[in-house]
């Protein structure tokens, strides 16, 4: 994924609200706006290298597709519910994922957000989904205020006059 602020490639970053717009940014540029959610790039490749459509005029190259994923808001509750459903104590889950019990406790309370590796471990061991695809919408309840200007409102693009 490419940071929409500095232009650098990144694998995990944030979705920012910046002057009324949502932008994808690397962790280094996260301070330029209000963090809405965390995102990570997931690349999917075709299962078969020789896949080609049998009909139609176009041949699509199925190289790399990038999907933006975000940690679900109720991740702590989902982890706790899945752990309890399997009759596991926090210390038992901690041993299963090879992490400290205090980390499991803080995750369930929502005090810390898990990284990509930890999300993967929890999803596999508890058979749950902790991420969701990010939509380019403002968070619930937030609307663009009337009269509020965005960067796009004030930028003036000038066409090159006469060439030569």
| pLDDT for position 105 | 94
Q: Which percentage of the chain shows pLDDT scores above 70?
A: 64
Q: Taking 70 as the threshold, does the pLDDT of residue 49 lie above it?
A: no
- 151 φ, ψ (degrees, to nearest 5): -55, -40
64-76 pLDDT, tens digit per residue, is 445 567 888 899 9
User: Could you tell me if residue 67 is inside a domain?
Assistant: yes
Q: 25: domain range?
A: 1-46+63-71
CB 83 within 8 A of CB 103: no
CB 130 within 8 A of CB 123: yes
Q: State how far the Cα of 145 lies from the Cα of 133, in Å rounded to an integer.
A: 26
Q: 145 falls in which pLDDT band (50, 70, 90)?
A: low
Q: What is the CATH number of the domain that holds 126?
A: 1.10.260.40
Which pTM does this prediction carry? 0.45
User: Could you tell me if residue 139 is inside a domain?
Assistant: no
**Residue 125 CA, distance from chain mean position:** 21
Name, in order, each residue with C-beta under 8 angstroms of 2's C-beta and a sequence gap of 6 or more: 8, 9, 10, 24
103 & 67 share domain: no
Number of H helices, E strands in the chain: 5, 5
Calculate the average pLDDT of the chain: 77
77-133 pLDDT, tens digit per residue, is 999 999 999 999 999 999 999 999 999 999 999 999 898 899 999 999 999 999 887
79 & 120 share domain: yes
User: Could you tell me if residue 149 is inside a domain?
Assistant: no
Count the domains in the chain: 2
User: Could you tell me if residue 1 is inside a domain?
Assistant: yes
């Amino acid at each position: 994924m490419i940071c929409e602020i500095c232009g650098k490639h990144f694998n995990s970053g944030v979705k920012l609200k910046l002057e009324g717009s949502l932008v994808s940014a690397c962790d280094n540029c996260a301070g330029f706006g209000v963090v809405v959610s965390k995102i990570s790039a997931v690349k999917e490749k075709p299962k078969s290298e020789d896949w080609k459509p049998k009909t139609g005029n176009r041949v699509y190259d199925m190289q790399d597709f990038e999907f933006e994923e975000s940690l679900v808001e109720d991740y702590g509750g989902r982890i706790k519910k899945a752990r309890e459903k399997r009759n596991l104590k926090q210390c038992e889950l901690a041993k299963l994922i090879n992490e400290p019990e205090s980390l499991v406790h803080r995750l369930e309370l929502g005090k810390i957000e898990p990284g990509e590796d930890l999300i993967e471990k929890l999803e596999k061991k508890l058979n749950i989904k902790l991420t969701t695809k990010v939509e380019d919408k403002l968070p619930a309840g937030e609307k663009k205020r009337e009269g509020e200007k965005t960067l796009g409102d004030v930028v003036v693009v000038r066409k090159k006059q006469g060439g030569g």
